[in-house]
Amino acid sequence: MLRTLKHLLRDRKGATVVEYAVLCAMLFFAIMATVQGVASETNSMWTRVNTTMQNATAA
Q: Taking the complete model, does pTM exceed 0.85, yes or no?
A: no
User: pLDDT tens digit string along 2-59?
Assistant: 888 777 667 777 778 888 899 999 999 999 999 999 999 999 999 999 999 999 998 6
What's the Cα-to-Cα distance from 55 to each of 13, 46, 48, 49, rounded to whole Å?
63, 14, 11, 10
Give the H or E element holding residue 20.
helix 13-58
Alpha-carbon span 11 to 15, nearest angstrom: 8
